[in-house]
Structure 1
Amino acid sequence: HDNIADSGFSISSEGLQLLILKGCSDCSQNMRSSSELQYFFRASVAFRT
């Protein structure tokens, strides 16, 4: 497993999934970040493609 500190932005797809899930849970607590989450989700999908 890659470490974000070690590999910069080159993280595994599993890491992206975890970040997205964490963002979703944070978003449910703080609705104003939902647009930021959607942007991050689209960016991560484009990054993996």
Structure 2
Amino acid sequence: MTHCYHHLTAGERATIMLMREGYSIRSIAKYHGRAASTVSRELARHAVPFSC
């Protein structure tokens, strides 16, 4: 069983970062035609850690 995986483009990454404040993960994923888990992983990967 083979899976076809396509990396996010730089443009997709940029719009995900811009949309993260005003849109849900599911709506961002639908806009890009991607799975919500893909968007969630991308946001988690680039999250700024919280420090006290």
TM-score, structure 1 normalization: 0.34
The structure in which a higher percent of residues are helix is 1
Q: Which has the larger radius of gyration?
A: 2
What's the TM-score once normalised by structure 2's chain length?
Answer: 0.33
